[in-house]
Amino acid sequence: MLRRTKLDELPQLIDVLSGRMSLVGPRPEVPQYVARWDPAMRAEILSVRPGITDPASLAGLDEATELAGAADPEAYYVEVILPRKQAMYVDYVRTASLRGDLRLVLATLRALLPGLPATATTRPVSAGAGARRPGRSGRGRAGTTGRGQARRPT
């Protein structure tokens, strides 16, 4: 139940409060997978702090089931899921906005707490349009939870 409801992610709130992570931003990725990212995209993704939620996290809520159906889950992750996540991370970094982040937080809460009502102003989740936000650069490290601990692919 903890994993399904993402309650195991609550300790990351400490990282958000300490400034090592953001509520919204590309999820920390395992270093062996970060090494597979296109170098230019890697630099762009790592230019912002990692976050607890992002568009790729919402799109991949059922990733475990997707991987379970693959003949070779590792190969499937590397060849199918990882490129999809990388593209979503880059799109998020390029279009991040306060409004988009608020939408992502609300969409995440609705996804994890299905009893929450949808609002009439709810639109499809996207990072939103706008320039990169100041003050979010360079603090995060991919592959860690912000405390130096390696993360499983999400």
- Decide if 129 is inside a domain: no
- Decide if 81 is inside a domain: yes
- Write out pLDDT tens, residues 34-52: 999 999 999 999 999 999 9
- Write out pLDDT tens, residues 110-144: 988 877 666 544 444 444 433 333 344 443 444 44
User: Residue 109: exposed, middle, or buried by beta-carbon count in 10 A (0-12, 13-18, 19+)?
Assistant: exposed
- Decide if 56 is inside a domain: yes
Q: Which is nearest to 57 in space by CA: 136, 8, 131, 125?
A: 125
Give, as one character, the DSSP assignment of residue 78. Answer: I
Q: Is 109 left (phi over 0), alpha (psi -120 to 50) or beta?
A: alpha
Tokens of 138: 């360079």
Mean of per-residue pLDDT scores for the chain: 79
- Decide if 93 is inside a domain: yes
What domain range is 89 assigned to? 2-112
- Decide if 127 is inside a domain: no
- What is the rounded average pLDDT of the residues 88-96? 97
**Burial profile 113-152: b = 16 or more Cβ within 10 angstroms, e = fewer:** eeeeeeeeeeeebbbbeeeeeeebeebbbbbbbbeeeebe
Question: 26 or 132: which carries more pLDDT confidence?
Answer: 26
Task: Tell me how many domains the chain contains.
Answer: 1
- Decide if 131 is inside a domain: no
- Decide if 142 is inside a domain: no
User: In this predicted structure, what is the pLDDT of residue 16?
Assistant: 92
